[in-house]
Structure formats: structure tokens, C-alpha cells
Structure 1
Amino acid sequence: MTDTSIDGAALLNEVEAFHRRFNIFPMEAAYVAAVLWDAHAHLLDCFDSTPRLAFLSPEPGSGKSRGLEIVETLVPQPMVAVNASAAALFRAVSGPDGRPTILFDEIDTVFGPKAGDNEELRGFLNAGHRRTGVTYRCVGDSQTVTPFPSYTAVAVAGLGSLPDTILTRSVIIRMRRRARNEKVEPYRARLHEQEGNALRDRLATWAEQVHDRVMGAWPEMPDGVTDRPADVWEPLLAVADAAGGHWPKRARAACLALVKASEANDKGSLGVRLLTDLRDHVLIGVDKLPTVAIIDRLNALDDAPWADMGGRPLDNRRLSKMLGEYMTADNEPIASRNIRTSGGVLKGFFVKDLEDAWTRYCPSPTAATTATPLQPSSEPLNL
């Protein structure tokens, strides 16, 4: 009798290769997480909860929507839901056609600062995280209170961040613009969607084969991962353990890396203005500069927002927070470090830590940027 079982590890390798053709993720852990999330969507009935997959970035053009587009080809019954209402979503989840995988692009239009009140949609996304989650509505002439199941897999993409109640239930992939040396294959739905769907169908078959094994699984968590992060990663680690091969080890390494990175925050175009001003006016001809000198120079810039940010000038805390929301070439948040000066050791920033963010987010410098940087109003520091 022919063995028709599917090698789970090999299949996940193929799914990862498909992602890598079209997606540039910020770190290796993100590929692992995306693949395991794709597979877990075929096994939802095995878990008590489902993590949200969130492609977020501070700026447009960072590959968020493309990440969601590739996921769409790999998950069961994808439902693209841009600007969908909460009522439409919970009726789709509880409808007769089976549970969809909801893909919500431009989620910042729902939860951004100008989006208005979207508590109903937030409530749906929160409730649907748990298998027991329901949304209650009054139905019929008698307005009978009726529970509608809300449990379903949801992936989102957007600018900025998400409400904390959703963010803490998410596997977060913080996208960034491709560097010049990072190349991807152009995705064309008419050419490549069929390839993704073929992988999706094989994932569905494999999910049937391992269903009972995954149903009773209690995967071991990496040291230090507890509470909410453990809830988020439990389904993904169970999938990795079922696949075997190198996936259990890679999954736990990815879990640690992304849980650590999840504390970073994103922001919008004001951050690009800060990065650009640092490159073009402040950090010219130096390899590092104390924070006090950086703030002094920024606040002295004409036609810049730094001298009056909400009624007060830019300060050390705000500068550190804004820069910390971008990454170095080593995928670490940009942070101040000790700088030795003639007056002692001061906190400051190194040019090499900012260079990758400049390449990804800032417009190419023009001739005007070669001017001599502004001098601080206080005495220059002797570094």
C-alpha cells in the first residue's frame, strides 16, 4: 500500500521558500512565524486561541500589503476585509459557508488617530481570539439576544500600531522598506496565485493527517515566555512540533526573537523628518554626538517642529523614544550609548546605528545637504 502521508517539515520548507520569493521580512524569525501562522489557520479547531498576525510599519511602501497578499494564497477561505464592518465580519464567521480567514489591510484606517470610534470592530477582534469568543446581537422582531461565534484566524496590515488589546494577542512583524541590495520576485496574481493555492491545498491535507496529534499537544515554551506571549505562540509551536525536522528548534528561536522585539513601537512621517534632519543638518562630519548636542542643534533648526512639540521643545526622552522605534542594521532598536568626551562620559548616538534607517526611509540627499551643520548654541563638545 502506497504511503500518502505528507512530510510536514518539507512542506513548511516549501511554504517558507514561497514567502521568500516575494517578501522581504526584517528578520529570519518573521519567516518562521508567517509560515507557522499559515499552517495554524488550517488547524484552528485544535487550539483554544488563535494569534493575530500583524504586518506593521512606520511608513508606506514597506511590504505590508504584499505580506498579506502572499498569506492570502496559503490560508483556508481567505476573506479580504478592507473597511468591513463588525456586523459583516461576525456574520461571515458564523455563516453557513464555513469559517473564513480574515485578511484586513489598511487596519490603520480603522484604529488610527483619525478613524473615529471602532469599538465594535475592536470587540469582534478581541472576542474572536478565543475559541469560546462570541458576539451578541439582538435578532428578529422580538429582539432575542443571540450569540454569534467570533473565533477565526485574522491577519492585518497597516501603518503605525494597534490597540494594546489586539497588539498583545498578535504575532507582530514590523516591516521596513527594502534596502537597495534586497531583491524580491515581482508577485503577479495571475501567475503565482495558483502556486500558493497548491501549497494551501497540501497544507489542508497535512492538517487532516496531524489533526489528532495537534489537538492534544501542549508544546514546551522557551524559557522566559509566559502569560500572554505563551498564549500567542502555543498554536504555532504545536504546528512546528507536528512538522518535526528543524521546525521545533526554529520555532522556539523565532518565538524568543519576536517576543523580545514586540515591545518596539512604530510611528509615522514625523520620524522620517527626524531621521532626515539628523542626517542632513546634525550628524554631518561626525561619527557620534552626545544627545545634548543633538537636541540643541535640532531645536535651532528653522522651519522645523523640534523647538515646539506640543508647547515645549524636543527633549532627551522624546528623542530617545522616537529613534528607538526604528532599527539598526542588526535589527536592534536605535538607542543611545555611552560617548567619552573631554568632560566625561555622556549618552549619545552613533552614526553607524542610524545608517540603515537613513537608507530605508529618508529621501536621497541633495547638494543642499552638504552644508556645514548648525552649531549648538552652547559651547561645542570636544569629543
Structure 2
Amino acid sequence: MARARGERMSDYLAVEDPPFDPWPVGSTGSVGSVGSDPGVLNRVREWLGRFILTVDDADLDLLTLWAAHTHLCDVLYTTPRLVLDSPVPGAGKTTTCEHLQRLCRRPLQAASLSSPAMLARLLDKELRTILIDEVDRNLDPKRPGVEDLIAIINAGYKRGATRPVLVPGPKGDWDVKEMPTFSPVVLAGNAPNLPEDTRSRTIRVLLLPDLEGRVETSDWEEIEADAMDLGEALSQWADETRETVRATRPELPPGCVGRTKERWNPLRRVAEAAGGHWPDVADDLIRRDLIAAQMDREDGMVTSPPAVTLLRDIAELWPEATAFVPTAALVADLVMRHPRMWGPESAYGKALTAQRMGRMLAQGFKVHSGRQGDGPRGYYRQALSPVWRRMGITPPDEPTELTKPAEPTAGGAW
């Protein structure tokens, strides 16, 4: 397979031109046996383990699968954004980017992104792997144009996303062209402040400094040729397994649904094509991610929209075996139990009211209040229960029979 050097992209982005560009343009691959070189992913994993120290050894498997999937993005529907994260400088993020630059499909090491339109023009030419270092600075929300760049990074994780770009017309005027934004992206930085919708599209690898000298130094004068050969072997393996990856739809671990499935399905398909122990490795990575996400939610690290927080808090305080609770009782208990969220000192600046709670539940979930006879307005558990389940919130036990409206005791407790 020929190693064609890529063109300079200074007309599109401010980039660090890679020292080599070994990946051919427009390769469609050929049908071959599953993993004609069954050890190539093992070799990539061993290589990364020599030079990169991750907090969790399983992240080396993740880096291996992610690098492999970049060569197969033309037959995949999504491509998760890879975040290389560390709380401090000098943890190996740039080194990891340098190794991925030599292993991934058509790599482009971006020193700084100049405009969303330029990024779209770059990807209109061909599918590339974009590696962005120092995202804590390059994607700082305070920088002009960053919101549009984030929008492209978010939309481009799924095939079919485009951005309208003005291009010169045949008569000297301007035409609008829809340019694709789909591409694999690496985001490396020190605890980057990424928006929540971007984080939901990412898979994170945590790095810490190697103070004990446990891995080798990446001396590119010495290891460049070996890295190039390994990257070419990975590209050839992808060509031979392309049709298998296109057709395979492996079963994912329980709970891997929605956005989580979109992030992990491409890597799981690559693992299935690799065979051997790789499907089990991928399943273990998915289960670890599901557990970590649950722990983040329990620790309050995931920021939810106010309406979702309200729904979760109502489920938490709903009295056991109670079918109906008056609105006034719910509001009083919410303010008492969660004053920072629903009390006068909340970010909203005012205590929660029945009207505001009603708007949030109606607009967010189409849940409306009702009455029991001539009593006060309130909410039925049977109206909230389906929404709780759809939002992954464990609802309280079903009441065995219709009960009287619950009333708070003195001080707001049930």
C-alpha cells in the first residue's frame, strides 16, 4: 500500500503539518476473512502500552479500538469523540496525540482552528481524523467562533451532518454548498470545559504524569519507521475487514442504549471483526462506562436541566403507596429538602411556586395537575410514573389501592 503524502492544509486550518501521511485516499477495501492479521490490534495495544501510561490499563484497549475505527468510519454511522484528559500538564496528552497521528486514518494535527467554514471545507475534500491539542485553550467558550466549532464537532459525530458554506459561483457570485462535518475527532486538554452536549458524545481517557518512569520515551528519530509500519498494518487490516464491519451488528451489554449505544457501537463492531478476546474487551469497556456514568449521576457530577432535576426530586420525595399528592405539599417539601435548588437562594432567585412547577412539568414532559373530587389540585402518580421510567428514574412502589391525598406534617415532612 503506497504512502501518499497529504497536501498542506494552511488554506483551510492553522495546522502542524504531520511528518508523514501514509493513508491512501478513497480506499474501499476488499472482502477478506475476519481479521486476516488477527494480531494487529494486539500489536497496536502493545505498542501503546510501551509509550503511554493511562490511569486504567483498559484505556489502552480503548485507544487501540478507537484508532482502528478511524480507518472504518466510511462504513460506520457514528464516531465517538475521544477526550484525552488530565488535571495537570505533562501527563502525556500530546504524546498520545502523536502516536494516534501515526495510527489513525488521514491524521491532521490541528494547532488551532481558525473557522468553522474552513473545517467544513477540509472535510469536504476527504474523511480525516482531526486531532486537537490544548482544547482547554483552543475551544475556550470565550473565544470568538468557538460556539460554531463546537456545533460542528457535535454534529459531525454522526454520518450525514452538514454545514452550509458559501463558495464562489460560476458567474462571480456566491453559492451555498452543504459540506459534510462527519469525522473522527480527538480532543486533548487539561480538564477541558466542554459543554454537556459535547461530553455526551465523548469517550474519555484519563492520563496522569509518569513520575516513576514506567513507560518509554517517544523518541521519534528512533521509532518513527516502526510506528509508520504499524499504522500501515492497521490500515491494511481495516481494508480486509471493511465489509465484515459494514454488515456486523453485535449485541451490546444491557443498558447500552440511546446516546451511549451511538458512542460504543462503532468500537464494538470493530472488536467483533477483530475476533479473539476483543469482543469481550469491548463489552467490558462498555460496562465500565455504564457503571462510571451511574456513579457520576449519584455523585451529582452530571448537570441535568432544571425540569429533569425537578422530576427526579419529586420521585425521591413521593410518599410510598400514595396515588395523589397536592401541588402545595410537593412545592413545600421540595423547598424544604432542596433549598439551594428550589428555595429563595436558588440560581433562579426565587422559591419554587406551584405555577412554575406546573409549567416545567407540562412543557418538559406533558404532565399536568388534576384534582381528586373537589379537593386541591395536585399530581397523580400514574401520570408521573411513565415519565419516570422513560427518564431512567426509579419510581416509588405502586400503591395497592386508591389513597387519600397525602398531607405534610408540621415543618413540611410527610
Partners of 1:21 and 1:155 lie apart in 2 by: 21
TM-score by length of 2: 0.59
> CA shift at 1:18, angstroms?
0.7
Give the Cα–Cα distance (whole angstroms) in 2 for the partners of residues 165 and 32 of structure 1: 25
Maintained 8 Å contact 1:38/1:75:
yes
2:219 to 188, 197, 204: 188
**AA of the residue aligned to 1:64:** K
Contact 2:34 2:274 in 1 (8 A): no
Matching residue within 4, 10, 14 for 2:43: 14
Once the two structures are superposed, residues 281-307 of structure 1 have per-residue CA deviations (whole angstroms, 9 ceiling, x without a partner) of xxxxxxxxxxxxxxxxxxxxxxxxxxx
- Cα deviation, residue 117, structure 1: 4.6
Question: 1:82 is paired with a residue of what secondary structure?
Answer: strand
CA distance, structure 2, for counterparts of residue 137 and residue 247 of structure 1 = 41
User: Aligned partners of 1:166, 1:199: CA distance in 2, in Å?
Assistant: 31
Determine whether 1:172 maps to 2:204.
yes
For residue 168 of structure 1, report the CA deviation from its aligned partner.
1.0
Distance 1:12 1:34 in 2: 10
Contact 1:63–1:177 (Cα < 8 Å) also in 2: yes
Residue among 130, 140, 161 paired with 1:102 = 130
Identity over aligned residues, as a percent? 31
State the distance in 2 between where 1:152 and 1:177 align.
Answer: 29
Deviations 1:21-70 (A, max 9, x none): 11001112211110000000010111111111110112111211111111
- What is the identity, as a one-letter code, of the residue corresponding to 1:89? L
Cα 1:116/1:149, change in 2 over 3 Å: closer
Q: Over residues 95-122 of structure 1, what are the superposed CA-to-partner deviations in whole Å (9 max), with x where a residue is unaligned? A: 2xx3221111111113336545511111
In structure 2, the CA distance between the partners of 1:196 and 1:142, relative to structure 1 (3 Å rule), is same
Q: Which residue of 2 aligns with 1:88?
A: 118
3-state SS of the aligned residue for 1:240?
helix
CA displacement, residues 307-328 of structure 1 (integer Å, 9 cap, x when unaligned): xxxxxxxxxxxxxxxxxxxxxx
- 1:73 corresponds to: 102
Secondary structure of 1:94's counterpart equals: helix
- Give the counterpart letter for 1:11 in structure 2: V
Alpha-carbon spacing, 1:159–1:30, altered in 2? closer, same or farther (3 Å): same
Normalising by the residue count of structure 1, what TM-score does the alignment of the two structures yield? 0.64
The Cα offsets for residues 224-283 of structure 1, whole Å up to 9 and x where unpaired, read as 222111110000000000000000001110122134335759xxxxxxxxxxxxxxxxxx
Residues 8 and 234 (structure 1), Cα distance of their counterparts in 2 relative to 1, 3 Å cut:
farther
CA shift, 1:6, in A, is 5.2
SS across alignment from 2:189: strand
Distance (whole Å) between structure 2 residues aligned to residue 28 and residue 258 of structure 1: 14
**Alignment CA distance shift 1:223-1:5 (3 Å):** closer
Match of 1:210 among 199, 216, 241: 241
Q: RMSD between aligned alpha carbons?
A: 2.3
Counterpart residue type for residue 221 of structure 1: L
Write the distance in 2 (CA, Å) between the matches of 1:260 and 1:175: 20
* Distance in structure 1 (CA, Å) of the matches to 2:34 and 2:266: 22
Residue of structure 1 aligned with 2:156, choices 106, 125, 128: 128
Q: Which residue of the other structure, out of 91, 108, 128, is the alignment partner of 1:62?
A: 91
Task: Provide the rounded CA distance (Å) in 2 between the counterparts of 1:81 and 1:264.
Answer: 31
Larger radius of gyration: 2
Contact 1:29/1:255 (8 A) holds in 2: no
Give me the whole-angstrom Cα distance separating, in 2, the residues matched to 1:259 and 1:250: 14
Q: Given the alignment, which residue of 150, 173, 189 partners 2:181? A: 150
Instruction: Sort the Cα spacing of 1:199 and 1:158 in 2 relative to 1 into closer, same or farther, 3 A.
Output: same
Q: 1:169 to 1:5 in 2, by over 3 A?
A: closer
Alpha-carbon separation, structure 1, partners of 2:95 and 2:254: 33
Q: Distance in 1 between matches of 2:206 and 2:144?
A: 24
Distance 2:221 2:130 in 1: 22
